[in-house]
Chains A and B, each alone.
Chain A
Amino acid sequence: MSAVDQAKNAAQFIEDKTHEARFDELIWMLRQKRDEAALQVPEWEQLRDLASEIKEHTLSNLCHYLEMFEASARRNGATVHWARDGHEHNQIVYDILKSKNADTLIKSKSMLTEECDTRAFLKSRGIKVTETDLGERIQQLDDEPPTPRRVQFCSPKTSFALTQSAFWPTIS
């Protein structure tokens, strides 16, 4: 995944005034709903702190939790693969497809495979990849990345997967 020029993208995004205004309206609506909900919970800030501590603890001890996950998944009959980076992840996926003589892959809403640029990797090796989530399918046909290019921020979910994808197991 290539580095993002935040400032340049932001300037472009702001330049498109109609789109920016609509986007702003949408995000502000979400913010208002969030505030409304937060006001119903007196211990809101304590809960935020607690969630933050849990997240920090989990990220600091990720090796432990990933191995714990691996053990549970194996116990449940899953095969767990470990990939050091996006390329290794893609290679594992491709090897599995090849071993099954598969030439088609159907996938849906996988940010990890987007971050690993799996679609391009497989396409260049003759695998036909089809997105099934409608929004992502439209973006695939439009040859656009799933997070709209003009949207500037990463969701916590995305940045988490991005940071940790080097150690992320692939389950098959």
Chain B
Amino acid sequence: MQSMSERVHDQKFSKPKDLLQSVNGIDFVDFERPDECCGFGGTFSVTEEAVAAKMGYDKLDFVRKAGAEYIVSSDMSCLMHLQGCARRLQKNVRFLHLAQILNGDRE
């Protein structure tokens, strides 16, 4: 699970997790460095392309290492960025928006 905050005392709190926990059949995985950004950051990915890409690759590595099959987010930018990174690295991981799961979609 991605942490919602970089603040050490707030890391247990996650609204998306609360929502997803009400859906049957989801196993959550914990990965390393849960409070690190995916690296997109709006125009950051344009002005700091190398850092943005590296952060995305790192995030993917941590998530994959933890054994996740799906990356689910409520943020379109994170999904787009990580999906782009996954495509470049030819990593086999699937992406869903939180709303797709809550609506009962699989893929």
Contact = CB atoms under 8 A, between A and B. Distances in A.
Q: Tell whether A and B belong to one assembly.
A: yes
Contacts of B54: 14, 20
A35 B36 CA distance: 13
B11 to A, nearest CB: 9
Contacts of A35: 8
B101 to A, nearest CB: 31
A14 B50 contact: yes
Interface string B38-69: 00000000011111001000000000000000
A16 to B, nearest CB: 12
A10 B8 contact: no
B103 to A, nearest CB: 36
A45 B48 contact: no
Q: Is the interface of B mostly helix, strand, loop or mixed?
A: helix
Contacts of B33: 28
A42 B50 contact: no
Nearest to B54: A14
A11 B49 CA distance: 8
A7 interface: yes
Interface of A: 6-7, 10-11, 14, 20, 28, 35, 38-39, 42, 44-45
Interface of B: 7-9, 33, 47-51, 54
**Which 5 A-B pairs give the minimum distances between C-beta atoms?**
A11-B50, A38-B8, A10-B51, A14-B54, A35-B8
22 contacts: A6-B48, A7-B47, A7-B48, A7-B49, A7-B50, A10-B48, A10-B50, A11-B49, A11-B50, A14-B51, A14-B54, A20-B54, A28-B33, A35-B8, A38-B8, A38-B9, A39-B8, A39-B9, A42-B9, A44-B9, A45-B7, A45-B9
